[in-house]
């Protein structure tokens, strides 16, 4: 086996193990909520590190700065999508009609159903 293939296999096994640990932590209900959240976040950080090292080869190439810039741009795009989605959902939740009577009045007013 070639060295890159070994790195991919090790990275894959570590990723699967970390995913299973996170899953078992949540489904076992063995820890309190703050401890569970802390463990999940810890597994996520280690998973990110494994992905960066074994699959993106960050830090092993001759010009790591360009990969770091690409990674930073990817993180920025993901942050915009996640926080934008949360902002939209919060806005929708704020503007929803919480009373069924108000909803029925609105439907009747619009001439529907």
The pLDDT, as a whole number, for residue 70 is 76
Based on the domain organization, do 80 and 42 belong to the same domain?
no
Q: Which of 52, 42, 38 is nearest to 18 (CA)?
A: 42
Q: Is residue 50 located within the same domain as residue 3?
A: yes
Q: What is the pTM of this model?
A: 0.60
Banded pLDDT at 36 (limits 50, 70, 90) = very high
- Whole domain around residue 39: which residue ranges? 1-55
Judgement on whether residues 7 and 48 belong to the same structural domain of the protein: yes
49 and 97 housed in the same domain = no
Same structural domain, 51 and 24: yes
Average pLDDT on 68-96 reads 85
Same-domain status, 2 and 49: yes
Residue 61 pLDDT grade (very low, low, confident, very high; cuts 50, 70, 90): low
> Residues 3, 19: one domain?
yes
Question: What domain count does the chain have?
Answer: 2
End-of-domain residue from the set 35, 55, 75: 55
- Cα 59 to chain center, whole Å? 23
Residue 47 shares a structural domain with residue 79: no
Higher local confidence (pLDDT), 34 or 67: 34
> Which has the higher per-residue pLDDT, 20 or 91?
20
Q: Angle formed by the axes of helices 33-50 and 3-28, to 10°?
A: 170
Tell whether 51 and 78 lie within a shared domain: no
Do 34 and 81 belong together in one domain? no
């Amino acid at each position: 086996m070639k060295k890159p293939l070994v790195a991919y296999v090790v990275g894959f096994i570590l990723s699967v193990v970390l995913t299973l640990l996170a899953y078992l932590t949540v489904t076992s209900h063995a820890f309190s909520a703050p401890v569970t959240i802390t463990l999940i976040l810890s597994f996520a950080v280690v998973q990110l590190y494994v992905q960066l090292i074994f699959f993106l080869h960050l830090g092993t190439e001759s010009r790591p700065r360009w990969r770091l810039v690409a990674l930073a741009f990817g993180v920025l795009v993901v942050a915009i999508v996640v926080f934008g989605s949360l902002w939209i959902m919060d806005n929708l939740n704020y503007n929803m009609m919480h009373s069924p009577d108000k909803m029925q009045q609105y439907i009747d007013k619009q001439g529907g159903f």
